[in-house]
Amino acid sequence: MYPLEQKHLEERICYTFGNAQLLRTALTHSSFANEHMGGREGCNERLEFLGDSVLSLTVCNYLYHTYPDLPEGRLTVLRKNLVCQRALADYAMQLRLGDYLLLGKGEEKDGREKPKLLEDAFEALLGALYLDSGDLDTVASFLIPYIKNEIAKLEKDLQPLEDYKTILQQYVQQTPGEELRYELIREQGPDNAKSFTVRVLINSNCFGTGRGSSKKEAEQNAAREALKLYLPK
């Protein structure tokens, strides 16, 4: 019977709240607050706001010290993939966070699996952890294992020699509004031995170039170069 008891979640995160109300608030969706508390006050939106900054600082601090030779541009792209909605919803699902949420009747049907709802709840949990513990080290102890696993998954994506264009498209689609396109910048050689050079653009920024004996091969090589920006290597 949902929601599961808070103490079970505390066991899963290996942390016991001094202020149990903070955890309850982090688990309270606005739909529940509207139905049972007479308004949005008491829902997890403010903790989500705080948790978003706690998340960003914790991840930035980890990446900065773990990859001292990684340039700013690649750190930015990597961070973006570690804190996007898909990643945060995945962290929440690994934790089974949806099982503990207080939801209104309208969200009970499928709310425990909605990516946006899970993302918000995960950030709210980080905010609650920070307020209750008073330090970022406690947050990092909980969060960093998820970050490490996500980085390992990103690295694994590049191991097979497969469709790099599709993989890159999946990454780009994680941020609504970004446009991915390929542009032919050079064509050389006779008809029976042509060489093509293509660059890949995300919005107006060049993320990589590639060469090949066909436009398709050049695009795949450009996408492979662009994908290296998403990884810490």
Active-site pick, 48, 52, 107, 132: 52
Strand partners, 198: 184, 210
Amino acid at 223: A
Residue 69 appears among annotated catalytic residues = no
Any idea which residue has 């996007």 for tokens?
Answer: 84
Residues 89, 93: Cα–Cα separation, whole Å: 6
Residue 123 appears among annotated catalytic residues = yes
The number of beta carbons lying within 10 Å of the beta carbon of residue 175 is 13
Give the residue among 130, 142, 138, 124 at the shortest CA–CA distance from 52: 124
Q: What is the 3-state secondary structure (H, E, C) of 48-84?
A: HHHHHHHHHHHHHHHHHHHCCCCCHHHHHHHHHHHCC
Any idea which residue has 């945060």 for tokens?
Answer: 88
Residues 49, 66: Cα–Cα separation, whole Å: 26
Active-site pick, 48, 123, 132, 219: 123
Residues 125, 123: Cα–Cα separation, whole Å: 5
ω into residue 68 within 30 of 0, thus cis? no
- Listed in sequence order, the residues at least 6 apart from 167 whose beta carbon sits closer than 8 Å to its beta carbon are 157, 158, 223, 227
Q: Which residues are catalytic?
A: 52, 123
